[in-house]
Chain A
Amino acid sequence: MKLFRLRKINLKELITYNFWVKLISLILAISVWLYVSSEITKGVKV
């Protein structure tokens, strides 16, 4: 029971700790991926 509680808290902290930095990093990662993959697709078409 104790172990289960400990895990629950850690998961919550994993998400909430530095939340905004994590969110901005995810947005940046998706933007970079979209840009690079579109550039690669362009290259293949040419």
Chain B
Amino acid sequence: MFLRFLNLKTVFEIIILWIVIYRVVVSLQGTKGAYLIRGVIVLITSYFIFQKLGLTVLSWLLTNFFAFYLIIIVVIFQPELREALIKLGQRHIFYKGLGKEEIEKILREIVSAVSILSMKKTGALIALKREMGLNDYIESGVLINADLTSELLQNIFHPLAPLHDGGLIIDGAKIVAASCLFPHSESLNLEKTLGMRHRSGIGLSEHSDALVIIVSEENGHVSLAINGQLTGDLTPQDLLTILKGQLSK
């Protein structure tokens, strides 16, 4: 039945729909909005099943409930929708991220701060946002929205600074928030010696596509968590190379 409609126009329409849906799903991952997507998938699947089985009463109920569901979505996710619309206005639809030079500049600032924090054995937890939204974690901390500099990073993680506890989130060239709560990893394969900072770093990398840099306050060792995997004891040069490789993808 589908093949009957298949032509160039159809393929083009489906590809556009696919890109829009994919962008929405990716930006909602790791936020409360993920439940919204799950809800929509359950409703659409149920609707098709009820239609196929000829269950008219259930189909009717579902169709009418769907209208209510749309209103509920707008009310509950008003802040997320507002942010998404603002982003849509600010960025190109096919926004790919920062330029190579900008990425290098940001990474130099981060690595410089991390190496100084490591030398001073000052604990730090830094998350670099990639495609997935980190709004839930940003909301748990203190909003900063400042330009990223090595000095500011060092200042935030100073043991006497009020925001040094918890994680810091970087989005592009901005420090978005500090003192954020990251989820702890529930993996049973982690070394027992790993502290809460490392577990939080790994936890966030399991729940999102963020790159998480951890500086141990015990020995000053620098680690990087990507997709739930921790790479430890990195030199500044190692860190820079890995981050460059990950962010230029």
For residue B249, which residues in chain A have a CB less than 8 angstroms away from its CB?
Answer: 10, 13, 17
Interface pair A21/B10, CB less than 8 Å apart: no
B48 within 8 A of A: yes
CB of A31 within 8 A of CB of B14, answer: no
Q: Which of A25, A26, A30, A33 has the most CB of B within 10 A?
A: A25
The A/B interface has a contact count, at CB < 8 Å, of: 38
| CB–CB A29/B41 < 8 A | no
Residues of A within 8 Å of B14, CB to CB, are: 26, 29-30, 33
Q: Mark A16-39, 1 if CB is under 8 A from B, else 0.
A: 011001101110111111100100
Known: A13-B249, A33-B14. A28 touches B44 (CB 8 A): yes
Contacts of A17 in B (CB 8 A): 249
Contact (A32, B17) CB under 8 Å given A18-B26, A21-B22, A21-B25: yes
The number of chain A residues with a CB under 8 A from chain B is 17
Contact residues on B (Cβ < 8 Å of other chain), bracket: 10 to 19
- A24 near B25 with CB under 8 A, answer yes
Is B22 a contact partner of A22 (Cβ separation < 8 A)? yes
Compute how far the CA of A17 lies from the CA of B29 in the bound complex, rounded to whole angstroms: 14
B10 & A33 in contact (Cβ 8 Å cutoff)? yes
- Of chain B, the residue at the smallest CB distance from A30 is B14
Pick the contact of B25: A10, A25, A33 (CB < 8 A).
A25
Contact check, B17 vs A34: say whether CB atoms are below 8 A apart.
no
Nearest opposing residue in chain A for B48, CB measure: A31
**CB proximity of A20 to chain B, nearest CB, Å:** 10
Offer 27 A-B interface pairs, CB within 8 angstroms, sorted by A. Answer: A10-B249, A13-B249, A17-B249, A18-B26, A18-B131, A18-B209, A21-B22, A21-B26, A22-B22, A24-B25, A25-B18, A25-B21, A25-B22, A25-B25, A26-B18, A28-B44, A29-B18, A30-B2, A31-B44, A31-B48, A32-B21, A33-B10, A33-B13, A33-B14, A33-B17, A34-B2, A37-B5
Other 18 A-B pairs with CB < 8 A, given A28-B41, A29-B18: A10-B249, A13-B249, A17-B249, A18-B131, A21-B25, A22-B22, A25-B18, A26-B14, A28-B21, A28-B44, A29-B21, A30-B2, A31-B44, A31-B48, A32-B17, A33-B10, A33-B13, A34-B2
